[in-house]
A and B are shown apart, each in its own frame.
Chain A
Amino acid sequence: MTIIHDMVRENPNALEARNMSVYYGSFRAVKHVNLAIEKNRITALIGPSGCGKSTVLRSFNRMNDLVPSARVEGEVLFHGENIYAPEVDPVNVRRRIGMVFQKPNPFPKSIYENVAYGPRINGWKLSKREMDELVERSLRGAALWDEVKDKLNQNGLSLSGGQQQRLCIARALAVEPEVILMDEPCSALDPISTLKIEELMFELRKNYTIIIVTHNMQQASRASDYTAFFLMDSDRAGELIEYGPTSQIFQNPKDERTEQYISGRFG
Chain B
Amino acid sequence: MSTQEQARVSIQSAAERVDRGAGNLRWRHFKGRLLAVFGWFSIIFGLGMLLVLILDVINRATGIFSGGPNWLTWDFFNNFDSRFAQRAGAEAAIFGTLYTISLTILFSFPISVAAAIYLEEYASDNWFTRLIEINISNLAAVPSIIYGLLGLQVFARWLLFGRSILTGALTLTLLVMPIIIVASRESIRAVPLSLRQASYALGATRWQTVWNVVLPQSIGGILTGSILAVSRAIGETAPLITIGALTFVPFLPRGIMDIFTVLPIQIFNWTSRPQDDFRSLAAAGILVLLAILLTINALAIYLRNRYQKRY
Task: From the candidates B125, B205, B212, B311, name the one contacting A91 in the complex (CB within 8 A).
Answer: B205
Query: Does B217 lie at the interface of the complex (its beta carbon under 8 Å from any beta carbon of A)?
Result: yes
> Do residues A94 and B192 form an inter-chain contact, with CB atoms below 8 A?
no
Chain B 186-206 interface residues, beta-carbon cutoff 8 Å to A: 192, 194-205
Task: From the candidates A101, A108, A117, name the one contacting B311 in the complex (CB within 8 A).
Answer: A108
> Do residues A63 and B194 form an inter-chain contact, with CB atoms below 8 A?
no
> Do residues B197 and A121 form an inter-chain contact, with CB atoms below 8 A?
no
Query: Does B269 lie at the interface of the complex (its beta carbon under 8 Å from any beta carbon of A)?
Result: no
Q: A108-B217, A108-B311 are in contact. Are A91 and B204 (CB under 8 A)?
A: yes
CB distance from A258 to the nearest CB of B (A): 22
Query: Does A11 lie at the interface of the complex (its beta carbon under 8 Å from any beta carbon of B)?
Result: no
Query: Does B73 lie at the interface of the complex (its beta carbon under 8 Å from any beta carbon of A)?
Result: no
Residues of A with C-beta under 8 A to B212: 117, 121
Query: Does B275 lie at the interface of the complex (its beta carbon under 8 Å from any beta carbon of A)?
Result: no
* Count of chain A residues near B, Cβ 8 A: 25
Residues of A with C-beta under 8 A to B198: 101, 105-107, 168, 171
> Do residues A122 and B125 form an inter-chain contact, with CB atoms below 8 A?
no
Query: Does A92 lie at the interface of the complex (its beta carbon under 8 Å from any beta carbon of B)?
Result: yes
Residues of A with C-beta under 8 A to B203: 91-92, 94-95, 118, 121-122, 175
> Do residues B194 and A107 form an inter-chain contact, with CB atoms below 8 A?
no
Look across to chain A and name the residue whose beta carbon is closest to the beta carbon of B217.
A108
* Count of chain B residues near A, Cβ 8 A: 20
Query: Does A55 lie at the interface of the complex (its beta carbon under 8 Å from any beta carbon of B)?
Result: no
Residues of B with C-beta under 8 A to A91: 203-205
CB distance from B304 to the nearest CB of A (A): 15
Look across to chain B and name the residue whose beta carbon is closest to the beta carbon of A122.
B203
Q: Beta-carbon contacts of A107-133 to B below 8 Å, as 1s and 0s?
A: 111000000011001100000000000
A25–B206 CA distance with the chains assembled, in angstroms: 22
Residues of B with C-beta under 8 A to A168: 198
Q: A105-B192, A107-B213 are in contact. Are A99 and B201 (CB under 8 A)?
A: yes
Query: Does A61 lie at the interface of the complex (its beta carbon under 8 Å from any beta carbon of B)?
Result: yes
> Do residues A98 and B213 form an inter-chain contact, with CB atoms below 8 A?
no
Chain A 46-105 interface residues, beta-carbon cutoff 8 Å to B: 61, 63, 66, 68, 91-92, 94-95, 98-99, 101, 103, 105
Residues of B with C-beta under 8 A to A106: 198
A66–B198 CA distance with the chains assembled, in angstroms: 12
> Do residues B200 and A63 form an inter-chain contact, with CB atoms below 8 A?
yes
Query: Does B124 lie at the interface of the complex (its beta carbon under 8 Å from any beta carbon of A)?
Result: yes
> Do residues B201 and A109 form an inter-chain contact, with CB atoms below 8 A?
no
Residues of B with C-beta under 8 A to A94: 200-203
In the complex, which of the residues B196, B202, B213 has the most CB atoms of chain A within 10 Å of its own CB atom?
B202
Chain B 180-232 interface residues, beta-carbon cutoff 8 Å to A: 192, 194-205, 208, 212-213, 217
> Do residues B311 and A61 form an inter-chain contact, with CB atoms below 8 A?
no
A230–B97 CA distance with the chains assembled, in angstroms: 67
Task: From the candidates A68, A103, A109, A121, name the one contacting B202 in the complex (CB within 8 A).
Answer: A121
Q: A95-B202, A117-B202 are in contact. Are A66 and B197 (CB under 8 A)?
A: yes
Q: Beta-carbon contacts of B259-270 to A below 8 Å, as 1s and 0s?
A: 000000000000
Q: Beta-carbon contacts of A148-174 to B below 8 Å, as 1s and 0s?
A: 000000000000000000001001100
> Do residues B201 and A98 form an inter-chain contact, with CB atoms below 8 A?
yes
Q: A68-B125, A109-B311, A121-B208 are in contact. Are A172 and B202 (CB under 8 A)?
A: yes
> Do residues A121 and B195 form an inter-chain contact, with CB atoms below 8 A?
no
> Do residues B201 and A63 form an inter-chain contact, with CB atoms below 8 A?
yes
Chain B 118-164 interface residues, beta-carbon cutoff 8 Å to A: 124-125
Residues of B with C-beta under 8 A to A117: 199, 202, 212
CB distance from A170 to the nearest CB of B (A): 12
> Do residues A172 and B204 form an inter-chain contact, with CB atoms below 8 A?
no
A108–B195 CA distance with the chains assembled, in angstroms: 9
A84–B310 CA distance with the chains assembled, in angstroms: 39
In the complex, which of the residues A63, A95, A117, A175 has the most CB atoms of chain B within 10 Å of its own CB atom?
A117
Known: A61-B201, A68-B124, A99-B197. 18 other contacts (CB 8 A): A63-B197, A66-B200, A94-B203, A95-B202, A95-B203, A98-B201, A101-B197, A103-B194, A105-B192, A107-B199, A109-B311, A117-B202, A118-B202, A121-B199, A121-B203, A122-B202, A171-B202, A172-B202
Chain B residues in the interface with A (C-beta under 8 A): 124-125, 192, 194-205, 208, 212-213, 217, 311
Chain A residues in the interface with B (C-beta under 8 A): 61, 63, 66, 68, 91-92, 94-95, 98-99, 101, 103, 105-109, 117-118, 121-122, 168, 171-172, 175
What 3 pairs across the A-B complex have the smallest Cβ distances?
A95-B203, A118-B202, A99-B201
Residue pairs across A and B with Cβ atoms less than 8 A apart, 14 shown, are: A61-B201, A66-B196, A66-B197, A91-B204, A92-B203, A98-B201, A105-B192, A107-B213, A117-B212, A121-B203, A121-B204, A121-B208, A171-B198, A175-B202
